[in-house]
Amino acid sequence: MIVSYSWVMALSAAIFAIGVAGVLLRRNILVMFMSIELMLNAVNLTFVTLARRMGSMDGQVIVFFVMTVAAAEAAVGLAIIISIFRNRETVNADELNLMKW
Amino acid sequence: MAIDLLIGAIKAIVILLLVLNLSAVLLWFERKGSALIQDRVGANRAAIFGIGKRMGLPNLGLMNTLMADPLKLFTKEDFVPEGADKFLHALGPFLALFPVLVTFAVVPIGDAIQIGGRTVQLQAASINAGALYILATIGVGVYGVALGGWASNNRWALLGAVRATAQMISYEIAMGLAIISIVITFGTLDLQNIVHQQGGVWFGWLPRWGIFLQPVAFVMLLTAGMAESKRVPFDLPEGESELIAGYFTEYSGGKQACFMLTDFAEVVLVAVLVTLFFFGGWQVPWLYGDGFHLGVHQLLLPRVAVVIVGVLAFWIKVVMFCWLQILVRWTLPRFRYDQLMRLGWKGLVPLGLLNVLVTAFVVVLATGAGR
Amino acid sequence: MMAHFSALGFILLFPALGFLFNLFLGARRGRGSVNIIGPGVIFAAFAIALIAFIRLLRLPSDSVLTVTLWPWIHAGRFQADFALQMDALSALMTLIVTGVGALIHLYSVGYMAHDDDFARYFAYLNLFELSMLILVLANNLLLMFMGWEGVGLCSYLLISFWYTNPNNAYAGRKAFIVNRIGDAGFLLGMFTLVAALGAHGIWTLNFSALRGNVGLLGPATATIVAVLLFVGATGKSAQIPLYVWLPDAMAGPTPVSALIHAATMVTAGVYMVARMHFLYMLAPTAMELVATIGALTAIYAASIALVQLDIKKVLAYSTISQLGYMFLGVGVGAFSAGIFHVMTHAFFKALLFLCAGSVIHALDGEQDMTKMGGLRKHLPITYATMLIATLAISALPPFAGFFSKDQILESAYNSGHRGLWCLGIITAAMTSFYMFRLIFLTFHGDSRVEADKVHHIHESPRTMTIPLLVLAGLAIIGGWIGLPEGVMWGDKIGAFLAPSVGEFVPIVHGSYAMLTGVSLGLAIFGIILAWYFYLVAPGMPYLIAYQLQSGYNVLFNKYYVDELYNTVVTRPLFWVSTFVLGRLIDSFMIDGLVNGAGLTVETGGQLSRRLETGNVQQYAFVYVLGVLAIVAYYLYLVTH
Amino acid sequence: MPVQLFIFLAVVSIASSLGVVVQKNPIHCLLALILTLITIGALFVALDAVTVGFLQIIVYVGAIMVLFLFVIWLLNLQAEPVPIGHLGLKFFATIAVAAMAAELFVFLSKTRTALGEVNVAAGYGSIDSLAQTLFGQYLMAFETTSILLLVAVIGAVAVARRALPVRASAGSPRPGAPS
């Protein structure tokens, strides 16, 4: 019995779904943010797997870029979270409804 | 299959023991060394049954360092402060120690040897991305300190943790840049390969050590490494005069021992890295596969002897660099935190970038790569 | 033949620069620089115009100086460039506009010396010069119309220059609106022309092209276009029935009345008719209309002028009547005569106004002639120059008015319009009467000036008197370039203008001596009558006015035309605007539509904004649903 | 890769990623996330993406997560209270997530190829090959990322910068305000 690609893909699917759940269910913006990172990594895993499947490096390069983007996103996102916290004294997504009608 | 696993396990255990013992020895080493530097006697008690005395040897206090202290430490109460995050508090020290120890897995302590027709690398795990591996493990090393300090529910500890984290992150970059320039120079991530490339001589006498190729990287790696190990003059995180004991203020007994061990293991690690990258690892000057060659003179040795000499040479170099660090620790005063950061970000990082740039240019020009 | 002459652009450039300077910097830079710049630019323009004029004289008589400044309107096949042309007609007009204009600018320096708003005043004046020059130099009807509107605007701005007085603002509005009525006719005329010529593939309004292709128009079309354009002319040149704005326009500063409402702008209509003479030649009916309107306006306005007491009103009505003369001239086909009268009239009428201005200036704004008299001792220069101007307008030889007016009357007679000729000579008698009435009431007899104003009666400053003298000179000799045929050098100006406005072709030949004798005699009779009435027997006018009460009132109230218009036109218009357009259409229909639209959108927004809960996770949830759908779709694809 | 290894990594990664979602204390969530990232990095290595695997650990664990850690410290976040409100949303969200998981499973498990069946060239996933691709075909994108990072740094500083403190004297003087 050897590992097939579908296993890894299924794994990444699971992680992705968990990440989505985190974004939808958690209140803490920071944790939602972490869940987003989870999703990103699930996708990365898919990329790497399929790259291996096709024997091409492109997937890995994409992963590389995803990491870069994630880094940038983390920097900006966390900065935003900090300023939000400064102004609203909370990181609870339910309380942050400035955009409410 | 099985035999390979066995060999792997043996190698892992051997290297682990070597490192741990060396760390322990370093403790004593440091005590006597500091005593020497500060013109004190230093540890000189607890001779077991007065063995040494009876032989007329001077009592070097080896015993109380190597046996009494550990015993004392591990038998002390394991204290957990109130309101602390118990899980993380317990996890912290090991999280700190673990990455340092696993780093040694990729360190080649000697040339490959033949045993019963199979080649055995004197290297716990011979992966060909060793340098990256080292960077990765060092990167992970932050969390033990950080979480340990945070979990202690103590302001001093938290402050120490914050300082430690910031410091390590900052200096990781410098370290990474240094290692990158090394990698560019040797054109490989494989440590064994790097060491191999440092064999032989230039002009018939000068050993091909990395120090001659990358002096800047050497200085950077040493500095950054010492900063990583959070020892004087970079011991802001645990600056007694300011933070009691920094991130491990709330630790006692075995866990604190872990932290101390981490410190010394890191010292060893830095020494090992410097040795590997700049001083030819297990390479002995003028020693080739079949013995010494210098000009016309030569002294032939059996293969095994060569390897053994190499291993010994490696550890001697490591110890020497450990001693160097101890010297530094006991001679330099502590930085101020802004000085620390300035050195890291405005000194080492730009220097490292410049170094990488220059190295890349030289390599491309010399080897004509990228054509 | 066409000759490129790029300097024409500069004639426009200088007033434009002056306008910008006075508008934006003038108030800040102060009176000194404005007094230099304001008139300076016009003098410069005059100099260039002179150069161009000389250049033109050197060239063959039928040549035209042209310059295309930039492409202006290229709509579909229709093309109109911002291009200038200067033929004999334009040259003459340009010289009048810039020359007289320059003098009046100079005069204004003195006249506005005590006004704080001098910068704005000169800005408007320069802008007027610019527009007027565009009008006379334009090489196509559209650009000319632009200048036409520009002068209208400036006229409005300057009439209501002292806008703090509501009467002035009202007068400005009145002038503007009445002009709009005329301009509507002008526009319709242009549209008809473009449409008619476009049918023949001529998509331009260049005068040269029009002149070449006007033959393509049928007589009916030509008549319609000519009449419509003439409607515009009646508006601009204050002819029946659209003259009513001009008397009120005297609310503006006197130099403005002199420049715009006597010398230049009001003659634009005459210029236009002369410019389009080739069109009017094709439309005899329109010509008849023009001539008749002109003659009627002339006598009509003169009759009103007989009894006016306001010095400027008298001059205003005399202007209207003189314009009537001009239209009579162009109407009977003597275009050069009309333009000639435009020129001489520009001289002596501007002079008259300036003198009146000088008088008013001296009397501190007093305009009622019954409160003047005996000023001859105090204002010698003004008196002398004004006397010259009056002799000129009364058409006594050898003054300028004599020659031009005689040409017109002679042409009228020789073109077979005896009736119109009679009206003309009667008007001449009236003219001399009311003008000398003005002189006698103002300068002779014993002073009726109010006590508080007596002490500071003074001759005007140099800047005001110099233009008077120059214009007086012109009013004397200005007419000599148009001597009757056979006398010395003959009709120079007619010959000069012939290439651009054609020759006058007489039908009958009345004896010149007879015609001149009659008009001259009547003029002198008028003078004597005035002398008798207002110097010998000062009580007489009141007696007559008492005897002919009703007639006098009719005249004094200007035939109640304003009241007539008010009841016939204005009131119904107001009613319709207020109730039909305002209440019904605007407030009810249009506002209803607009508000309805707004309301719809707002309600929609109110409903849809409920979706914006401001909760990130709800958005994310919807997002996930979308992802679900998409994945499901692809799942369907791969499974089938 | 050996089945045991895969199963081990899979179990650990799923467990830890669940830990991210279910745990109360942000720090614990972070720790779980770190573990997930490390396991995923290990999976990369096992999938012959050695370089990317280590980069994953270096970049994510070594840098980004530390950033998170700092932010948590800075905001001094404690364990959040029991969730209340929007329960209906949570309910449906759970269903949606389950549905998505199901879909993805069905969708991704279409590929039946085993890892061993595809042989990759020697040096696949090594830093050389990565560099070849990165600096060859994707050079433009790579350079662009540098700009992206620069912008991100500047933006982060600009957003997170605390507004300059207003002096009591400069501001409207409150009665009894220390000056």
What residues in chain D have their Cβ under 8 A from chain B's Cβ atoms?
Answer: 25, 27-28, 31, 34, 38, 41, 50-51, 54-55, 57-58, 61-63, 66, 69-70, 73, 126-127
pLDDT exceeds 80 at position C263: yes
> Hey, what amino acid is at B338?
D
Q: B172 to chain D, minimum CA–CA distance in Å?
A: 9
Q: What is the pLDDT of residue D170?
A: 46
Sign of the CA dihedral running C548, C553, C556, C561:
negative
Q: Could you tell me which chains touch chain B, where touching means 3 or more CB pairs under 8 A?
A: D
Number of structural domains in chain B: 1
With beta carbons less than 8 A apart as the criterion, state whether C370 and C309 touch: yes
Tens of pLDDT, residues D17-30: 988 888 888 888 88
Give residue limits of the domains in chain C: 284-556, 563-639
CB contacts, 8 Å: A88 with chain D:
none
Give the 3-state secondary structure of residue A4: strand
Nearest to D80 by CA among B85, B87, B83, A27: A27
Say how many CA atoms lie within 13 Å of C205 toward its Cβ. 29
Judge whether residue B43 has pLDDT over 80. Answer: no
What's the pLDDT score for residue C43? 93
Residue B147 touches chain D, beta carbons under 8 Å:
yes
The yes-or-no reply on B/A contact (3 CB pairs or more, < 8 Å) is no
- State how far the alpha carbon of B275 is from the alpha carbons of A47, B221, D102, in Å: 38, 11, 53
- Mean pLDDT (whole number) for C435-439: 90
Q: Where are the alpha helices (DSSP H) in A1-101?
A: 5-25, 29-54, 58-88
Strands (E), B34-186: 110-115, 118-122
Q: What is the CB-side half-sphere exposure of residue C243 using CA atoms within 13 A?
A: 28
Predicted local distance difference test score (pLDDT) of residue B371: 46
Question: Could you write out the three-class secondary structure of B101-119?
Answer: HHHHHHCCCEEEEEECCEE
Return the C-alpha torsion angle C290, C293, C294, C299, nearest 10. Answer: 160
Q: Does A52 sit within 8 Å of D115, measured CB to CB?
A: yes
What is the tens place of the pLDDT at every residue in B224-275? 888 888 877 887 777 677 777 777 777 887 788 888 888 888 888 888 889 8
Q: What is the dihedral of CA C291, C296, C298, C301, to 10 degrees?
A: -150
pLDDT of B63: 65
* pLDDT above 50 (res D173): no
Does the N-terminal peptide bond of residue C241 adopt cis geometry, omega within 30 degrees of 0? yes
Is A101 in Cβ contact with C609 (below 8 Å)?
A: yes
Please give the pLDDT value at position B7: 81
Give the pLDDT of residue D66: 87
Shortest CA gap A51–chain C (Å):
21
Distance CA C31, CA D150 (A): 59
Contacts of A100 in chain C (CB under 8 A): 612-615
Interface mutation vs chain A, best among D11, D20, D92, most A CBs within 10 Å: D20
Instruction: For residue B281, give the 3-state DSSP assignment.
Output: coil
pLDDT at C291: 92
Domain membership flag for residue B167: yes
- In DSSP terms, C64 is beta-bridged to C2
Place of tokens 């108030």: C27
What residues of chain C lie within 8 A of the CB of D109, using their CB?
none
Rounded percentage of chain A residues whose pLDDT exceeds 70: 96
Residue A55 distance to chain D (closest CA, Å): 5
Nearest-CB residue to D89 (from C618, C627, C628):
C618
Q: Do A99 and C617 lie within an 8 Å CB cutoff?
A: no
In whole angstroms, what is the distance from residue B150 CA to residue B127 CA?
A: 34
Instruction: Render pLDDT for B22-35 as a digit per residue (tens, 0 to 9).
Output: 887 787 778 778 88
* pLDDT (0 to 100) of residue D179: 42
Rounded Cα gap, residues C63 and C1, in angstroms: 5
A with C: how many residue pairs have Cβ under 8 Å apart? 31
Ramachandran angles phi, psi of A90, nearest 5°: -155, 155
Scored b (16 or more CB within 10 A) or e, C625-637 reads eeebeebeeebee
Give yes or no for a contact between C515 and C410, defined as CB atoms under 8 angstroms apart.
Answer: yes
Question: Rounded mean pLDDT of B71-80?
Answer: 80
- Which residues 581-620 of chain C have a CB within 8 Å of chain D? 615, 617-618
Task: Over range C538-563, report the average pLDDT.
Answer: 81
Instruction: Please tell me the least confidently modeled range out of A61-65, B112-116, B304-308, C191-195.
Output: B112-116
For chain D, say whether A29 makes contact (Cβ under 8 Å): no
Distance from CA of D85 to the nearest CA of B (A): 29
* Contact flag D55-A22 (C-beta cutoff 8 Å): no
Query: Residue B48: its pLDDT value, please?
Result: 58
- B280 touches B194 (CB < 8 A): no
Average pLDDT over residues B80-101: 84
Residues C273-320: pLDDT tens digits?
Answer: 999 999 998 888 999 999 999 999 999 999 988 888 888 999 999 999
Q: What is the pLDDT of residue B50?
A: 59
Interface test with A, best of D11, D40, D127 (most A CBs within 10 A): D40
Nearest to B150 among D50, D73, D127 (CB): D73
Neighbours of chain D (3+ CB pairs under 8 A): A, B, C
B140 has a chain D CB within 8 A of its CB: yes
Q: Which residue has the higher pLDDT, C284 or D166?
A: C284
Which CATH fold would you assign to the domain D1-78?
A: Four Helix Bundle (Hemerythrin (Met), subunit A) (1.20.120)
**C565 exposed, middle or buried (CB, 10 Å; 0-12, 13-18, 19+)?**
middle
Are the CB atoms for B165 and B92 separated by under 8 Å?
A: no
Rounded to whole angstroms, how far apart are CA atoms B283 and B14? 20
Q: What is the pLDDT of residues B153-187, one digit of tens each?
A: 888 888 888 888 888 888 888 999 999 898 888 88
Name the closest residue on chain C to residue A99, using Cα atoms: C614
Q: Is the pLDDT of residue D167 over 60?
A: no
What domains appear along chain A, each with residue ranges and CATH number? Answer: 5-88 (1.10.287.3510)
Q: Which of chain D's residues have a Cβ under 8 Å away from the Cβ of B128?
A: 50, 126
Supply the range of the domain harboring residue B104.
Answer: 76-367
pLDDT at C607: 87
Concatenated DSSP letters of C171-211: HHHHHHHHHHHHHHHHHHHHHHHHHHHHHTT--B-BHHHHH
Across the interface, of C609, C617, C621, the residue whose CB is closest to A93 is C617
Chains A, D in contact, 3 or more Cβ pairs below 8 Å: yes
B288: left (phi over 0), alpha (psi -120 to 50) or beta: beta
- The Cα B315–Cα B309 span in angstroms is 10
**Pairwise CB contact (< 8 Å): D145 & A25:** no
List CB contacts (< 8 A) between A99 and chain C: 612, 614
Within 8 A of D93 by CB-CB distance, chain C residues are 617, 621, 624
The H or E element containing residue B366 is helix B349-367
Closest approach of D174 to chain A, Cα-based (Å):
22
Interchain touch C–D (≥3 Cβ pairs closer than 8 Å)? yes
| Nearest-angstrom CA–CA distance, D108 and C349 | 100
Residue of A34, A39, A43 to mutate, testing the D interface (most D Cβ within 10 Å of its Cβ): A34
Contacts of A25 in chain D (CB under 8 A): 21, 83, 90, 93-94
> Residue C253: is the preceding peptide bond cis (ω within 30°)?
no
In this complex, which of C612, C621, C624 lies closest to A100 when CB atoms are compared?
C612
CA angle, B13 as apex, D8 and B135 as ends, to 5°?
65
| CA–CA separation, C283 and C220 (whole Å) | 8
**pLDDT band of C328, cuts 50, 70, 90:** very high
Element (H, E) at C79: strand C78-86
| Spatial separation of the C-alpha atoms in residues C363 and C165, rounded to whole Å | 20
Q: CB–CB of D114 and A83 under 8 A? A: no
User: Which 8-state DSSP code applies to residue C265?
Assistant: G
Q: What is the pLDDT of residue C20?
A: 92
Chain C hits for D89, Cβ within 8 Å: 615, 617-618, 621
Q: What is the pTM of this model?
A: 0.58
What pLDDT score does D177 carry? 43
Residue C582 has pLDDT above 90, yes or no: no
Distance CA(B317)–CA(B307), nearest Å, equals: 15
Residue C624 near chain D (CB below 8 Å): yes
Greater confidence, C191 or B24?
C191
For chain D, the first-to-last Cα distance in angstroms comes to: 71
Residue B275: Cβ-neighbour burial (10 angstroms; 0-12, 13-18, 19+) = buried
- Distance (Å, rounded) from C-alpha D136 to C-alpha D134? 6
D167/chain A closest Cα distance in angstroms: 19
User: What is the pLDDT, as a whole number, of residue B52?
Assistant: 55
Q: Give the mean pLDDT of chain B.
A: 81
Higher pLDDT, C548 or C50: C50
Return all residues near C46 (Cβ < 8 A) that are at least 6 apart: C95, C98, C99, C101, C102
Q: Which residues of C163-193 are buried (b: 16+ CB within 10 A; e: fewer)?
A: eeeeebbebbebbbebbebbbebbbbbbebb
The vertex-C241 CA angle with C239 and C243, nearest 5°, equals: 50
pLDDT for C396: 86
CA distance A99 to chain D (A): 17
Rounded mean pLDDT of C405-429?
A: 89
Contact: D62, B140; criterion CB under 8 Å = yes
Tell me the C-alpha distance between C82 and B25, whole Å: 100
Shortest CA gap C606–chain A (Å): 9
Give the separation between CA C634 and CA C640, rounded to whole angstroms: 10
Percent of chain B at pLDDT exceeding 70: 91
Query: In whole numbers, what is the pLDDT of chain C averaged over residues?
Result: 88
Q: Residue B273 in contact with residue B321, Cβ under 8 Å?
A: no
Q: Distance, in angstroms, between C614 CA and closest chain D CA?
A: 13
**Cα separation, D6 vs D17, whole angstroms:** 16
Q: Which residues of D touch C615 (CB under 8 A)?
A: 86, 89
Q: Give the pLDDT band (50/70/90) at residue D178.
A: very low
